[in-house]
Structure 1
Amino acid sequence: MAEEAVVVEGLSFMDPFKGLLLTYFMPESCYDEFFLKFNFLDVPCLKIVLSKGLGIGIILGSVMVKLPQILKLLGAKSAEGLSFKSVLLELLAITGTMAYSVAKNFPFSSWGEALFLMLQTVTIGFLIQHYGKRTSTGLLFMVIYFSLLVLLLSPVTPMSVVTSMQAFNMPAIIIGRLIQASTNYSNGHTGQLSAVSVFMLFAGSLARIFTSVQETGDSLMALTYVISSTCNGIIALQVLYYWNSSPQKKKGE
């Protein structure tokens, strides 16, 4: 009777949090495992909770991940060192992942950051055009992109097209990052590239390898994040290598 009283008391204490936990962090079977059986070392449930927690953390972080880059561009009123071609290829990869995830009905926690990264990447693309004195081209770029996005997410687009886009993500990511890496190498500095954004993207793509395997079981998604992590790692290493270099220093040499 005493044990039952403890269980009932524990459950009543957890009741206000149960809906939140079941919605975002674990299935009911894991809730029972943790809070009825007090088995906090159940490996499958721990993996689920870790994956869900990482996914939510990545999504929350993605709201801010490219904000330092945007603020740096606005502050400098310059997009020197940023490649618009690289931005386009990155946007293609993000859009492919988002469309593929929506079409496959993957949980939002496994891909939600793509939505926020897309909005921030479009903003960066516009700023590159704007500070290159091509504001009208930047506006046209946004209109065309969002029109294509609506079409891509609609039922009109065949699943084969969405799958092909996701498969194309890998070469798009590789080419886009190599273009940015080549730009950095040619300039001898990383220009207005934000170190904070670069390192956050690298950390997020690493974490997504685990969450994509755990939550989707989709090998194409997992491989995409492996490639993305490798390419983001190259840019992160360049940021460290060129840490003390700047456009002003190179011009003064």
Structure 2
Amino acid sequence: MEVEMATSVMDPLKDVLLTYFMPEKCYDEFFLNFNFLHVECLKIVLSKGLGIGIILGSVLVKLPQILKLMGAKSAEGLSFNSILLELFAITGTMAYSIANNFPFSAWGEAFFLTLQTVAIGFLIQHYGGKTIKGLIFLVVYFALAAVLMSPQTPMAVVTTMQASNMPAIIFGRLIQVGTNYSNGHTGQLSAVSVFLLFAGSLARIFTTIQETGDSLMALTYVISSSCNGVIAAQVLYYWNSSPEALKKKAE
């Protein structure tokens, strides 16, 4: 009776573990052989856990940035061109991952980051007095994204787009870095969002290698981490600088 009860309790847990965290061979290693130090399985579980954590975190990662823009009713210090290049890179990763049937845990945060980045792009236009352009931007982006995600898009197109991610990420981040430098502050850039993006891109290097083995995607995250690190360093450097403080000094 006790064995049956234990089995009935473990069945739902087993289903969750096998679906999201590990293959059956690792379940057997951990829960039948009690080999909790199996290196290959530990890597798999760590990668899956990090992937799910990144996806869950990505739901809120840019929310502080959106709230900061809405609270200030200003997008000062944020570059729309940088947002466009970032969207190009994120969309390319999504299209490439879907075309290659990579697991959602390996790229799922791109979906949530896309929605939040599009919202930021619209807010930059809106608070810049260009609401109509912002609405056109939304329509055009989602139309293009729908085409790219469709099975009719040739594999060569999404592969080329993924390969183009690296220069897009570099130029996009450099534009933001240059904007911060020329302003002498980071404006309405959210420190929380910047540091979360930096941490997430670092973790993605490991999960991408572990779950997809795709060197192109892994290299993309290495470059993304480096660029995000530069912006994070600027946030720290300009921590006590703000548009208001610089205006007072000028006066």
TM-score computed with the length of structure 1 as normaliser: 0.96
Tell me the secondary structure at the aligned position of residue 93 of structure 2.
helix
Question: In the alignment, which of 104, 109, 113 is matched to residue 108 of structure 1?
Answer: 104
Question: In the alignment, which of 107, 122, 143 is matched to residue 147 of structure 1?
Answer: 143
CA distance in 2, matches of 1:12, 1:146: 46
1:225 aligns with 2:212: no
Question: In the alignment, which of 91, 94, 112 is matched to residue 90 of structure 2?
Answer: 94
Deviation readout 1:57-76 (Å, 9 max, x if unpaired): 00000000000000000000
Tell me the secondary structure at the aligned position of residue 64 of structure 1.
coil
2:153 equivalent in structure 1: 157
1:84 aligns with 2:84: no
1:246 equivalent in structure 2: 242
Tell me the CA shift for residue 112 of structure 1.
0.1
CA distance in 2, matches of 1:50, 1:10: 26
CA distance in 1, matches of 2:124, 2:33: 56
CA distance in 1, matches of 2:52, 2:153: 29
1:133 aligns with 2:129: yes
CA distance in 1, matches of 2:3, 2:212: 34
1:38 equivalent in structure 2: 34
Give me the identity figure in percent: 78
What amino acid does structure 1 have at the position aligned with 2:91?
T
CA distance in 2, matches of 1:128, 1:179: 15
CA distance in 1, matches of 2:103, 2:3: 32
What amino acid does structure 2 have at the position aligned with 1:107?
P
Tell me the CA shift for residue 222 of structure 1.
0.3
Tell me the secondary structure at the aligned position of residue 105 of structure 1.
coil
Deviation readout 1:160-197 (Å, 9 max, x if unpaired): 00000000000000000000000000000000000000
Tell me the secondary structure at the aligned position of residue 26 of structure 1.
coil
Conserved 8 A contact 1:10-1:35: no
Question: How many pairs were matched up?
Answer: 249
Tell me the CA shift for residue 13 of structure 1.
3.9
CA distance in 2, matches of 1:87, 1:102: 22
Conserved 8 A contact 1:67-1:120: yes
Tell me the CA shift for residue 14 of structure 1.
2.0
What amino acid does structure 2 have at the position aligned with 1:130?
H
What amino acid does structure 2 have at the position aligned with 1:179?
I
CA distance in 1, matches of 2:3, 2:107: 36
CA distance in 1, matches of 2:246, 2:88: 32
2:179 equivalent in structure 1: 183
What amino acid does structure 2 have at the position aligned with 1:124?
I
2:64 equivalent in structure 1: 68
Conserved 8 A contact 1:7-1:36: no
Tell me the CA shift for residue 42 of structure 1.
0.4
CA distance in 2, matches of 1:202, 1:161: 28
Tell me the CA shift for residue 16 of structure 1.
2.3
1:236 aligns with 2:249: no
Tell me the CA shift for residue 156 of structure 1.
1.8
